[in-house]
Structure 1
Amino acid sequence: MHVVQGETAREIVYDPRYFTISADHPAAALPPEPSAFAGLWLQEAKSGPWKTQEPWATWLGASYFRGVGELGQVGLSARGLALSPGQAPGPEEFPDFVGFWIAPAENESDPVTLYALMDSPSLSGAYRFLCRRTSGVVMDIEATLHFRRRVTHVGIAPLTSMYWYSETASSRTIDWRPEVHDSDGLAIWTGSGERIWRPLNNPPRTMTSSFVDEKPRGFGLLQRDREFLHYLDGVKYEKRPSAWVEPQGDWGRGAVQLVELNTD
C-alpha cells in the first residue's frame, strides 16, 4: 500500500495499532511482512459523519471492488478481470490486486486516483481508477495487461451479483420474503442501438447466455425493483445499487456473457 505525493510514492507500512483488534481475533496474529492490509476503503470527508456511513468505494479481496449507490447502499461488485468464468472443465482463475498506490484528490471537484497492480499465474496488469463521488460513484478505468500464457476466455469489466428468486422466478424453497436479490436483470445497449433486458434466473446448474455484439455502447447488472413491500427485508434490497459499464474506444466484436450459478 502506497500514497502518491507529487512525483513520489511513500509506502504505508502496516501497523496493527491502526485497527481495533481484540486479542483473540485471528487478525491480531498477522505479521507485518508481507503487508497484512487486505484492501482499502474510500470514506467520506472527515468533516462529515464518515464513521457511521458505508465507504463510498472499496477494493477488497482478489480483484473485487465496488461503490455505494445513489440510495446509500452497497450491493453487487465489479472485478478487474475474469479468466475462464463458467468454462468447464478447468477452474476459473482469479487474479489479485497485489499492490495499490493512492493519489488523494487535490480539490473537492477532482477525482481520487488509484493505481493497482494485478497479478496471477496467467498475466500481470496495471490499472488506473479515477474515482468521483457523485450521487453515486463514477469510475474511469484504464488497464494494460501482459499475458504470460495463452488464455482462451477473458472477461473485460466483469460484474458479480446475487440472485436467489424474484417475481419472475419464484422460490423453490420455503421463505417468507417475496424476493431476494441484489440485481434482477442484465441490461445491454448494443452497438446498433438496440436495448436488451434479460431477467436473471436461478438455474438448476451453471448456465451461460451469450449476446454477440460489435462495439457495445453499454451493459450492466441493474436492480430495477425499488419497492420495499416486494422484499420485506431489513437489509434493504430495494436500495441496492446498479452497475453500468460504458466502453471507451472501440472494443470490436465479442459478446456480453451472463453466467448464472445455482443458488440454494
Structure 2
Amino acid sequence: MTKLKDKTILITGACAGIGKALLIQGLIQKAKSIIYLDKDLTQVHRLYHEFQPTHCELRGEVVDISNPNEVKEIAQQLAEEDIHIDILFNNAGVMIGKYFHEMQTEEIDLLMDVNAKGSMYVASALLPRMIERKQGHIVNITSIAGLVSCPQMSVYCASKWASTGWSESLRLEMEQLKTNIKVTTVQPGHVNTTMFTGFKSNFLTPTLTAEEVAKQIVKGVGKNKIFVRMPFMNRLSPFIKGILPVRWFDLLIGRGLGIYDSMANFEGNNPLKSKEEKVTN
C-alpha cells in the first residue's frame, strides 16, 4: 500500500485545481517532502508563501513540462541532491475547447505537448531511479475524456486517450519487468476549475470539486488501485461502452444524458490567449 506519510512526492501543475488539492492532502497526511512544478514563477512563489509548512519540506520549481530539456534538468538536479521521488503525481494539463476545424496548429501542439507528452517526459526522467531502487508509484491524472469522446473536445480527448493508453501500457511494462513500480491511472469527470468554465454537467455525472477528487486519488493510491474513476457513473462507462453498439451508446450518452452538448456554452481559459494577453498588457 502506498501512503503519503513520510514520502517524497512530486506534483506537476500544483498551483491550482486538483494539483493544489493534492499538495494540501500531502501536507495533511504528513508527507516528508513535496516538490511541485509549474511554469509560472509568480504562482510558484505564491503557493510556497501560502503554506510554508513546518513539518514538511515544500519546494517549488519553475519547469515547463512540455519542454523535455527543462524536465531532464530538474530530474538531474534532484539526482545530484540525492533526492528520491517516492510518488509522482502527473497532474498538469490544459484545455482548449473548439470544433476540430477551428483549432489552430499552436493549440493542437499545446494540448498534445502538455497533456500527453509532458507526463511522459516527467515519468521518463524519474523512472530510471525508481526502477533502480525498486520503489515508486506513478499516478497519471488523465480524464474520462480519455475513454468517452465529446464534440468540441476532439484534440483534448486525443491527448487524454494518448495519456491513458500510455499509462496503462506503462503499468503492464512495470509489472512484466517486476520492478515493483506501481502505476495508477485517474479518470475524473468534470471538475469545477477555470479550465472548464461553462461546461454543462448532469445529475448522473455531477461536477466535482478539486478537493473531493484529490481525496479519492489519495485513497485509491493508498490501495494501489489500477484505475480511479469518479463520479460513480464513470466507473460504469467502460462496461457500458463495451456492451452497447456505438449508435446506442451515442443515443444514451448524447441524447439521454446530454453529454455531447456539454460544451455548448463553454468559455474555459485558453492558455494561449492568456499568454498573448500577458505579452500585450
The TM-score with structure 2 as length reference comes to 0.25
Computing the radius of gyration from Cα coordinates, the structure with the larger value is 1
**Higher relative contact order (CA closer than 8 Å, sequence separation 6+):** 2
Bigger proportion of residues as helix: 2
The TM-score with structure 1 as length reference comes to 0.27
